[in-house]
Amino acid sequence: MSRINTNIPALVSRHQLNRSQEGLRRTLERLSSGLRINRGSDDPAGLIVSERLRSEITGVGQAIDNSERAINIIATTEGALDEVASLLLDLKSLIVEAANRGAVSDDEIRANQLQVDSAVESITRIANATTFAGKHLLNGSLDYITSGVRNSALTSLSIQRAQFGTNSFIPVAIDVQVSQAAEKAQLQFVNSTISQDITIEVAGNDGVATLSFLAGTSAAKIMSGINIISDVTGVTSRLLSAGSPGNGIVFESTGFGSDAFVSIRALPGSNTFAVQDALGSTRDRDTGQDALAAINGTLSRGRGLELTLNTTTLNFVTTLDQNFGTGNTSFTVTGGGSLFQLGSEVDSNVQVNIGIQSVAASRLGNAVVGFLSEIVTGGTKSLVEGKFAASSDVVEEAIRQVATLRGRLGAFERNTLQTNINQLQITLENLTSSESVIRDADIAFETSELTRQQILVNAGTNVLALANSTPQSVLALLGG
């Protein structure tokens, strides 16, 4: 059947040619962009999944950048602390040199004091001047802000880490309930005099010394002899009852806790020297007792007077006042700290908030031994005042604090930041690979498809031309 008004073969050929041209266009687009999905119509489900993967990839990439920037901040802080540590070691050397009074003149001591003043001033300057992109690192601006701390209960408080969650502070007070007070090691001699000549060995955490006393020596004189060498042994003594020197002596360790001990014994071959513990049991050695407390319901077994809490939300170290005993005290954390965003999502699970304490001279040290600002000229522990032992104790405590801060920041960098970067890089690789499988074009496949579509377009064009010429055959019927 021949028709000239409607050319069905041409319609079919044109439809197939349009499809081939659309396929060729899509293939050329994929080859030029390198993507299998260029618009939603290419693969709606694949587009949704790949866009979510792209979002995660972007977040993970930024989290890696955040961690690397945090490492740079820690490195800057560490460099400044290293210089502070060097200055503290110089201070230690100057103090020990000045203590050599038999070989050092007063002029040399004053010269050493000038160097001490300069070093202490430099430490404070470093604390105030250490910055990163305008952010001060060591002047205390990154430390936590607390309120309600009673000095009669807590002589020092160092909050190292706190998680605020969705809050800008910890909404509940930190309650410290001390159920067991820290104690010194203690032995007692309950006689007013000694009846025989004796030679005793006095031992403590700092060392051992021997003392000899004649028969009839009073308890007060024995006490005086032991106190003279207390810096050698770490053992001090006092009268058993104030105002009653005939009642005996109490021997105590200078420190608190189970690490502290006192040993009083007569040397072999000497007469006996009977001592007993606070409960009246005869013994020649005693150890101290650590504090025991519940902090917000979490048990904390101290080290001497020092209590530590380490939980997922709060990490701090505090020192009890030696006269506090047992009882309750509390404080609140109202803000502060330095928040590091280490994950791809903004929530507290992938955030770390740490505190960096000030290393200014007025902050290095503690209430027991004093602060670094007290060893300068005019201070209560200066070299020109002859306070060599006291100033040495302050510097030793400052060295310990700076070393502890450096170690804590180093652990944060190594165990948190570096491991976080390693984990995120693996995550980034896997996410990128998954997104590539869904969205990227397979060039080998698309090249083959290009050849196929080109052939189809050429064939379709030829067939359409043939279909358009077919109706002309009716002219033969008209005798044309």
Q: pTM here?
A: 0.83
C-alpha closest to that of 306 among 127, 157, 98, 457: 157
Each residue of 323-343: pLDDT tens digit?
A: 999 999 999 999 999 999 999
For the chain, the first-to-last Cα distance in angstroms comes to 19
Is residue 295 over pLDDT 60?
A: yes
pLDDT level of residue 18 (50, 70, 90 thresholds) = confident
- Integer Cα distance of 444 and 442 in angstroms: 6
C-alpha closest to that of 156 among 349, 304, 311: 304
Average pLDDT over residues 1-14: 76
* Cα 387 to chain centroid, rounded: 35
Out of 22-26, 182-186, 241-245, 268-272, least confident range: 241-245
Is residue 348 over pLDDT 70?
A: yes
| pLDDT for the residue numbered 368 | 85
Is residue 61 over pLDDT 60?
A: yes
Is residue 90 over pLDDT 80?
A: yes
pLDDT level of residue 2 (50, 70, 90 thresholds) = low
Instruction: Kindly report the number of other CB atoms within 10 A of residue 390's CB atom.
Output: 19
| Sequence-distant (≥ 6) Cβ neighbours of residue 396 within 8 angstroms | 92, 369
Is residue 245 over pLDDT 80?
A: no
Average pLDDT over residues 42-54: 88
456 contacts 96 by C-beta, under 8 angstroms: no
Indicate the pairing of strand 327-336 with strand 174-180: antiparallel
| pLDDT for the residue numbered 340 | 93
Domain ranges of the chain: 184-287
Residue 210: its H or E element: strand 208-213
| Burial of 61 (C-beta count, 10 Å sphere; 0-12/13-18/19+) | middle
For 331, the 3-state DSSP assignment is strand
291 contacts 302 by C-beta, under 8 angstroms: yes
Average pLDDT over residues 317-327: 91
Indicate the pairing of strand 314-320 with strand 327-336: unpaired
pLDDT level of residue 68 (50, 70, 90 thresholds) = very high
C-alpha closest to that of 9 among 474, 479, 471, 480: 471
Is residue 465 over pLDDT 90?
A: no
Each residue of 108-162: pLDDT tens digit?
A: 999 999 999 999 999 999 999 999 999 999 999 999 999 999 988 999 899 999 8
| pLDDT for the residue numbered 480 | 52
Is residue 419 over pLDDT 90?
A: yes
Is residue 447 over pLDDT 70?
A: yes
Cα separation values, 293 from 178, 328, 343, Å: 4, 9, 35
| pLDDT for the residue numbered 429 | 94
Residue 41: its H or E element: none
